[in-house]
Amino acid sequence: MSEFYPMPSFATLAVADIGASVAWYAALGFSNVFEMPVLVHLRWARYADLLLRPDPALAPPKGQGIALTFAVSEKLDELAERARAGGARFLREPGDRPWNARDFSIADPDGYALIFTMGPLNRDLDFAQVIANVRKP
C-alpha cells in the first residue's frame, strides 16, 4: 500500500484519455497511488505526486507552457531509453547542462513537458561557478 501524507505541492493535469495517460506514466516508473472516477493519483517519489483528471473536451494546445521537473537519483540514461522505447517524443535529448545537471525532456500524450534531471554532476562547484558556467556563451 502506498504511503499517504499531506502533499505540500502537486500538479493536476487535465488529460484527454485517462487510461492511456496512466499507462504512459506507469511505463516511465510512476506508481499508481489510487484511482477514482474523477482523478488518478500518481507518484514519482515521495513528495513528487501528480494528479491526472479526465477532460476529453479540453481544447488544444494542451500542455503549452507547462513543464514538470522530476529528480532522478541515478540511471537517467536508462530512463531516457525506456521513454524512447515507449514512443515518447523528446523535446530535449539527454545531456549535461551548464547548470551542473544532466537532464532530458519529453512530452506526455497531452503535450505536457516532463523534465527528468540528475545532479549536481560536480559537487565541488559552488553556486557562483555554476552561474558563471550558465552565463558562458
Q: What is the DSSP string of the chain?
A: -------S--EEEEES-HHHHHHHHHHHT-EEEEEETTEEEEEEETTEEEEEEE-TTPPSSTTTT-EEEEE-SS-HHHHHHHHHHTTPEEEEEEEEETTTEEEEEEE-TTS-EEEEEE--S-TT--HHHHHHHHH--
The answer to whether the predicted template modeling score (pTM) of the entire model surpasses 0.85 is no
Which one is predicted more confidently, 1 or 80?
A: 80
pLDDT above 60: residue 87: yes
Q: How far apart are the first and last CA of the chain?
A: 49
Band of pLDDT at residue 50, cut at 50, 70 and 90: very high
Q: Residue with C-alpha cell 507518484?
A: 43
Q: Which of 20, 37, 56 is the last residue of a domain?
A: 56
Distances (CA, A) of 10 to 37, 50, 127, 131: 19, 6, 27, 28
pLDDT class of 75 with cuts at 50, 70, 90:
very high
- What is the pLDDT at residue 64? 75
> Locate cell 522530476: which residue?
70
Q: Which domain holds residue 18?
A: 1-56
pLDDT of residue 117: 95
Number of domains in the chain: 2
Predicted confidence (pLDDT) at residue 76 exceeds the cutoff of 70: yes
The per-residue pLDDT of the chain, averaged, comes to 89
Rg (CA), the chain: 16
Domain harbouring 108, CATH code: 3.10.180.10
User: According to the model, what pLDDT value does residue 58 have?
Assistant: 67
Domain shared by 91 and 45, yes or no: no
Residues 102-125 pLDDT 10s? 999 999 988 899 999 999 999 999
Compute the distance between CA of residue 51 and CA of residue 68 in angstroms, rounded to an integer. 12
Q: What is the mean pLDDT of residues 17-28?
A: 94
- Looking at the structure, tell me whether residues 8 and 25 fall in a common domain: yes
